[in-house]
Amino acid sequence: MTDTQAEAAPTLTAADDLYRFQIPSNPRISPDGARVVFCVQRVERETEKKYTNLWLAEADGSRLRPFTHGKWADTQPRWSPDGQTIAFLSNRGNEEQAQLHLIPLDGGEARPLTDLKGNFGPFEWSPDGTRLVCQFRQKDADALEREKDEAKKKLGLSYRHITRADYKFDGAGYLPKERWHLWVIDAESGAATQLTDGDKDETEPSWSPDGRSILFASNRGERPDMDLDATELYLIPAGGGEMTQIETRPGRKFAPVFSPDGQSVAYLGRDKPGRWYQNARLYVAALAGGGARDASGGLDLHLAGSTNGDVFNEDTPSLPVWSADGQRIACVASTRGNEWLVSLAAFGPDNGGTGGSQIRPYEDAAGRGGFQTRPYSWIIDEPGVLGGYTFDRARRRIAYLWSTLDDPAQLVVRDLDEDGTPGAPRTLTALNPWLAEVATGEIEEVWFPAADGHELHGWILKPPGFDPTRQYPSILQIHGGPQTQYGNMYMHEFHYLAAAGYVVYWSNPRGSQGYGEAVTGAIYGQWGTVDYDDVMAWADYVERLPYIDPARMGVTGGSYGGYMTVLIIGRTQRFKAAVAQRVVSNFLSFYGSSDLNAGLEHLAGTGAPWEDMATCWAQSPISAIGQARTPTLVIHSENDHRCDQEQGEQVFIALRRLGVPTELLLLPGESHGVSRGGRTDRRVARLEHMLGWFERYLS
């Protein structure tokens, strides 16, 4: 190769690009709409540590700058009502303990406001800017005692005494005995007042517009760890006192927010308890009583985020936002591989979820006009995935994060006219400019028929420098959930595999979100039936393409995608290599070993194993493993509390026993979400082992 040829070689997606990404999150527009504060995370390669600082963007696009500096985790920025101060969480001063900090807009050092021991959840300024309400969980008393005694601290725990089923959570590990409670913090002195206590959690606090009371969610049932959907909404005086329950309707409730006049509460929830495939719907309840009205009407959309990504994963709660006049409510909606923003009429006929104004999930800009006069309208509806969104006080400007197939995420602002119609987007950031120099393949969006004629949605990524006269090896990707979706969102892993010369393809089989509640619920109580058929129909479609080599097809997926991968190798030998990641393999042992505990009954629609062992076993991929012949790499995290390590070990040992080529890659210290949030060197190792396995058997 000549020097000129070497210089002309394109830059391709690499595994260690994960060290280069700057990832935005948690945007908050100032009350006057003039600027936006948001977080940007980076990775320090030498130490494998992740640091997050606050950035500030002028909404007119005139200036963008880092606002805080240093090797800290500065997160959850929140504007004071006068727009002159930003409250945020930071672990500066103590890497293991975040505190609330305040920093003035006009510059100066951030000052710590609190000195508490424990974990902070969401917090919010009072309307007059004198206090903040926080969701906070104290450290257990015995943990605090150990910290005072070096010998005890070195020895660590001698035992765990567990009395509830919700004793662990993936990504957090074993949970303290203390519960989440509400605290009010004085914005000047930092004095902290605990409003609630006891053995129940109080979460998602927000102030009433007059600052006299605080709204929150809580499951106060006798067994909240078993009765998982018994959440109710409550009010408590801001100075403390008796809590009162708001009259709503049965079923899970989350993301509650006051109306501007303080007379109503909007929240998201499900129509009925259990059956977790149900759409998240919008409800409005009057504080005066009368129950909750379903403001979603005939809207067959999931009003929450659900899209899988491996670089940008905005975890900011998507709270409903009331219009300034209190007549409309904006919510995120998952639809056909997108996450858009829809506006709904707050008050109107209660359609009970069955009638009224219809909106089909695949409509686009046609529903945008008449923001104040139509029962629904789209505010944002271009191909892409919406991250955290935030309105100014007047509801005339919106800031949000936006991910597309070729860009992980940028900060975008739009102005809204008097009737709420959005203007053209203004992109305020240019994060990760190096991506423009990376050669990537073309992504083709495809609609194809299932075996029974049902219309399905998929995408095909071709390798860079694709030659249509060649035949390529291919890799089928299957998403987790299953109640999530793939979509118009950047996926580093897919580009990495395509850069190695593979056609990568992915789809949303039945069981996925984004295509209506009936589609999501189609596999309830029957995983591995029509969903398997849909995945095979997708493989059939791709296999028939002239540029696909049928003899070099691979398959991979994680979580539910790992479930499906293990099921596939037990039912067919069409794939020449498989990588099964963070798998569910055996419903009999998955029940009780997962942090979902009894929630598996609501997720999958199976009964407890002792109630219906036959159904649990029939839906378990390990039941068909005896027919497996496909070389399979099993990847699992050692601290996976969602799908316990033993789920992957069962597959590995079974394949070894059968004489099928197999290896087990364990990732120390990692949780179920390793592919999107794990330590970067382990994420790189995962990708390199995956590609190495496919190279061994598909090249």
**DSSP-assigned letters across all residues of 158-181:** S-----SS--EETTTEEPPSS--E
| Opening angle at CA 147, ends 142 and 148, nearest 5 | 100
Distance of CA 120 to the CA centre of its chain: 19
Q: How far apart are the C-alpha atoms of 622 and 586, rounded to whole Å? A: 6
Task: In whole angstroms, give the CA distance from residue 389 to residue 412.
Answer: 9
pLDDT at 369: 32
Please give the single-letter amino acid code of residue 51: Y
Largest CA distance in the chain: 79
DSSP structural state of residue 325: T
Confirm if 420 and 379 have CB atoms less than 8 A apart: yes
Helices assigned H by DSSP within 28-140: none
> Is the four-CA dihedral 623, 624, 629, 631 of positive or negative sign?
negative
pLDDT number for residue 3: 52
d(CA 502, CA 474): 5
Count CB neighbours of 629 within 10 A: 14
Between CA 184 and CA 113 the distance in angstroms is: 12
Mean pLDDT, contiguous 10-residue spans, the chain (699 residues): 60 98 97 98 98 98 97 97 98 95 92 97 98 97 91 90 96 96 98 97 98 98 94 97 96 96 97 93 96 92 95 80 96 96 84 34 35 70 94 97 97 94 96 98 98 97 98 98 97 98 98 97 97 98 98 98 98 98 97 92 94 94 98 98 98 98 98 96 98 97
Residues 6 or more apart from 313 whose CB is under 8 A from it?
A: 676, 677
What does residue 501 show for φ and ψ, rounded to 5 degrees?
100, 15
Alpha-carbon dihedral of residues 672, 674, 677, 680, nearest 10 degrees?
160
Q: Tell me, what DSSP letter sits at residue 354?
A: T
∠ Cα 389 390 391 (to 5°)? 135
Return the structure tokens found at 95. Answer: 């890497």
**Residue 72 to residue 51: CA distance in whole angstroms:** 5
The alpha carbon of 447 is separated from its chain's Cα centroid by a whole number of angstroms, namely 25
Instruction: Compute the distance between CA of residue 129 and CA of residue 163 in angstroms, rounded to an integer.
Output: 40
| Residue 165 to residue 642: CA distance in whole angstroms | 13
Helix axes 492-499, 680-698, angle to 10 degrees: 40
Note the pLDDT of residue 152.
87
For helices 560-571 and 530-543, angle between their N-to-C axes, nearest 10 degrees: 70
Is the C-alpha dihedral spanning 206, 209, 211, 215 positive or negative? negative
**pLDDT score recorded for residue 7:** 59
- Kindly provide the b/e burial profile for residues 527-537, where b requires at least 16 CB atoms within 10 angstroms of the residue's own CB: bbebbbbbbbb
Specify whether the CB–CB gap between 281 and 296 falls below 8 A: yes
CA distance 375 to 367: 10
Q: Is residue 671 a contact partner of residue 527, using CB atoms and an 8 Å limit?
A: no
**Residue 481: CB partners within 8 Å, gap ≥ 6?**
306, 308, 511, 512, 513, 559, 560
**Pairing relation of β-strands 35-44 and 168-169?**
unpaired
Q: How is residue 631 annotated by DSSP?
A: -
CA 222 to chain centre: 29
State yes or no: cis peptide before 112, omega within 30 of 0.
no
The structure tokens listed for 442 are: 């073309």
C-alpha distance from residue 640 to each of 171, 482, 536 (Å): 8, 17, 29
Backbone region of residue 340 per phi and psi (left: phi > 0; alpha: psi in -120 to 50; beta: other values): beta
Q: Which residues have CB under 8 Å from 221's CB, separation 6+?
A: 227, 230
| Residue 108, token pair as written in the block | 């100066």
Model pTM greater than 0.85? yes
Terminus-to-terminus CA distance in the chain, angstroms? Answer: 23
Give the C-alpha separation, 665 to 408, whole Å.
Answer: 28
Residue 652: both structure tokens together: 């590995």
Q: Which residues fall within 8 angstroms of residue 305, CB to CB, at 6 or more apart?
A: 314, 318, 332, 334, 339, 385, 386
Q: Rounded to an integer, what distance in angstroms lies between the CA atom of residue 130 and that of residue 137?
A: 22
Question: 137-156: buried (b, 16+ CB within 10 Å) or exposed (e) per residue?
Answer: bbbeeebeebeeeeeeeeee
The two structure tokens encoding residue 309: 């990504």
**In terms of Cα–Cα distance, which of 162, 146, 203, 207 is closest to 180?**
203
Q: Is the peptide bond before 375 cis (omega within 30 degrees of 0)?
A: no
Q: Contacts from 95-103 at CB under 8 Å and sequence distance 24+?
A: 98/73, 100/132, 100/134, 100/185, 100/190, 101/74, 102/187, 103/54, 103/67, 103/68
Q: Is 368 left (phi over 0), alpha (psi -120 to 50) or beta?
A: alpha
User: For 209, which DSSP code?
Assistant: T
